[in-house]
Structure 1
Amino acid sequence: MADTDQLTVGVVRESEPGERRVALVPKLIERLVKRGLRVVVESGAGAGARLEDAVFERAGARIGDAWGADIVLKVAPPGEAELPRLREGSVLIGFLRPLSDVDRIAELEKAGITAFAVESIPRITRAQAMDALSSQSSVAGYRSVLLAAERLPRFFPMLTTAAGTMPPAKVLVLGAGVAGLQALATAKRLGAQTTGYDVRPEVAEQVRSVGANWLDLGIEAVGEGGYARELTEEERAGQQQRLTEAIGGFDVVITTALVPGRRAPTLVTAEAVRGMPAGGVVVDLAGETGGNCELTEPGREVVAHDVTICSPLNLPAEMPAHASELYARNLTELVELLVDAEGRLALDFSDEIVKGACVALGGREKKGES
């Protein structure tokens, strides 16, 4: 362990451009302290989420060198200059991108770091409270609708005025996972006419449960772990043709379709964009893996065929207060799973959550550790 026999949890400042979240918030520090843990926060770690050092101190944390802690909590993966700051034998937890950044994972293991990637946590009932992918996707889905509403040159709700009645905007959400359902629910609250689509037919009921219509294209692609499987070439061609025809009837299209470890499927073609109403908006939440729209430029906002195409890469960071709070709850649950009743590190690799989330062993054997 670090300085004393008491296990330390470190919360470091994020260095990735645009990242404003923090991995632990003050209201959850007391919970870890009660488990016998000592919390150390790097100065300025909460600045992006409007959390000053003094707030962490009042909650029971110490401001200091968080990189030397036994368990280091992060949001984004550590940068090249940050890797040497991690102590050999320590545990790192965060969004580590194990499928796309295998070299960094190898470096962590070589440095003797045991790493847990929150995106690798099994999507099982027992792990729901640790599901950071879902909590942050919910934030992204909500924010995506606000982004679209700001750029659409029309009202979202139907408005009746002395000058006439304005019809509601028509919003289509592609992908009915957590982000998609949150987008549909938010657009509905803003008064839009909403429609959802997913290649998994069993989610049609969930789409309708948030007040949206279901777009049935007659294609099913049920995969493992709650994700859609990759479509065959024939299925993809049929899906795109039907989608292209349908998209022309919507003012806003929000795309959320991802296949883990693969490039995002193209759902909105250039032809589909061309068929949208002038002033239409596409918000592509799959930009990090290439995007669902053929005309997407990841991280940028472009206009094509008089349609605005936005591809934000980190929407949760634009709502750092609540995004950090949700993420901190996820990490707190995971930390508590990794620590025994006496406040000691106890990695039980017979537990499917621990085993599934671990992406680097750092010299440890999968036999458990106390």
Structure 2
Amino acid sequence: MRIGVPKERLALETRAAATPKTVEQLLKLGFSVAVESGAGKLASFDDEAFVQAGAEIVSGDDVWQSDVILKVNAPDDEEILLLNPGTTLISFIWPAQNPQLMEKLAARNINVMAMDSVPRISRAQSLDALSSMANIAGYRAIVEAAHEFGRFFTGQITAAGKVPPAKVMVIGAGVAGLAAIGAANSLGAIVRAFDTRPEVKEQVQSMGAEFLELDFKEEAGSGDGYAKVMSEAFIKAEMALFAAQAKDVDIIVTTALIPGKPAPKLITREMVDSMKSGSVVVDLASQNGGNCEYTVPGQVVTTANGVKIIG
């Protein structure tokens, strides 16, 4: 059975669905692996590295003749037509958000394994690609924020005076949020975090952050490790909290997602307009609609008052 790894076509995508190391592992299991030429270039894996691992470098047309296709992103319309009936596609798919995509794949008789739908249970932990990506995204969010912020995260005391530490608020204490908290704390920032699930308070505090709480009782867990849609009264209370925090903090990182639904709008234009000039908002939910009303996916937007929003 041959596994094919095509080049990702999505703009700004730098990931590859396989590495030379994973190619070696697949070969040991008895598969043959075909990698499209240049598929790993943006991930710093050249064709020669894949060849040395035992893969065959093929053209863009040939790779789609494989029995199994590994991709990072869901296929576009052109790629769907390249899939042979009966092919198995393993990729991030987001079935609930993409019903039309599922219909097109079903019409082509494609077997689909949606990596974003892997359950968050111990048995499936090694397959939880979504959490792995979220961990990287949370860390990267702080790196990007630090670059755009242009000031120290940690406080400084010099002969010329004092520089206060940056204040960071992280919304959502899932895998991405906890990674962002850890990275910001390690850089010396004052970190605060909010999550609708009170059970994550201990995790947030163990990472060195303050857990922001509402004087409001409502069950937020959905039983699968994700948050659920909250009541209007709860949302009103949390929005008031975010509005107050926006005036005080320097950096906001949003990670809020609800499975099967667009990302909730948590940071309004009015909140951003109230932030200090030079502040930064990093929206990790930008590809799902964004948590900030100013967000443009894949772009850095600078508002009239000098706040940068990284989509």
Q: TM-score range by the shorter chain?
A: over 0.9
Question: How far has the Cα of 1:215 moved from its partner?
Answer: 0.9
Name the counterpart of 2:32.
38
CA distance in 2, matches of 1:128, 1:70: 26
* 1:124 and 2:121 are equivalent in the alignment: yes
Match of 1:177 in 2: 174
In the other structure, the counterpart of 1:245 is: 244
Matched with 1:273 is 272
Distance, in Å, in 1 between the alignment partners of 2:100 and 2:36 is: 26
The equivalent position to 2:46 in structure 1, one of 32, 43, 52, is 52
State the Cα distance separating 1:17 from its structure 2 match.
1.3
> For 1:293 and 1:40, how far apart are their aligned partners in 2?
41
Could you tell me whether the CA contact under 8 Å between 1:173 and 1:183 is conserved in 2?
yes
Question: Aligned residue pairs: how many?
Answer: 306
Moved more, 51-60 or 242-251: 242-251
Flag the 1:19–1:295 CA change in 2: closer, same or farther, 3 A. closer
Larger mean CA deviation between 173-182 and 98-107 belongs to: 98-107
| Cα distance between partner residues in 2 of 1:20 and 1:296 | 21
Structure 2, unpaired ranges of 5+: none
The equivalences for 1:224-243 within 5 A come to 224-243=223-242
Q: Counterpart of 1:316?
A: none
- Asked whether the 8 Å contact 1:118–1:132 carries over to 2, the reply is yes
Cross-structure match for 1:29: 23
Question: How far off is 1:38 after superposition?
Answer: 1.0
The answer (yes or no) to whether the contact 1:296–1:309 under 8 Å persists in 2 is: no
Per-residue deviation, 1:102: 1.4
1:144 aligns with 2:141: yes
2:207 counterpart (188, 206, 210): 210
Q: Which residue of 1 aligns with 2:262?
A: 263
Counterpart contact for 1:284–1:309, Cα < 8 Å? no
8 Å contact from structure 2 (residues 278, 308) kept in 1 = no
Point out the more displaced range, 146-155 or 199-208. 146-155
- 1:157 alignment partner in structure 2: 154
Distance in 2 separating the partners of 1:310 and 1:89: 43
Distance 1:68 1:177 in 2: 38
Pair 1:88-2:79 in alignment:
no
Measured against aligned partners, the alpha-carbon deviations of 1:327-354 in whole angstroms (never above 9, x if no partner) come to xxxxxxxxxxxxxxxxxxxxxxxxxxxx
- Give 1:362's aligned residue: none
Structure 1 residue 305: Cα displacement: 5.2
Deviation of 1:105 after TM superposition, in Å, equals 1.5
Is the CA contact (8 Å cut-off) linking 1:151 and 1:308 kept in structure 2? no
Residue from 177, 194, 210 that aligns with 2:191: 194
Aligned twin of 2:3: 9
Structure 1 residues 44 and 297: alpha-carbon distance in aligned structure 2, compared to 1, 3 A threshold: closer
Give the whole-Å Cα distance in 2 for the aligned partners of 1:79 and 1:216. Answer: 42
CA deviation map 1:294-326 (0-9, x unaligned): 3333333223352424243xxxxxxxxxxxxxx
- Structure 1 unaligned blocks of 5 or more: 1-6, 313-370
Q: Distance in 1 between matches of 2:283 and 2:78?
A: 31
Please say if residues 272 and 307 of structure 2, whose CA atoms lie closer than 8 Å, have aligned partners that are also in contact. Answer: no
Provide Cα deviations, 1:227-269, integer angstroms capped at 9, x if missing partner: 1110111111121112211232211111111111212222222
Cα separation, 2, equivalents of 1:301 and 1:23: 27
- Amino acid across the alignment from 2:307: T
Structure 1 vs Structure 2 CA RMSD = 1.5
1:223 is the counterpart of 2:217: no
Question: Higher relative contact order at CA 8 Å, sep ≥6: structure 1 or structure 2?
Answer: 1
- SS of 1:9 mapped into structure 2: strand
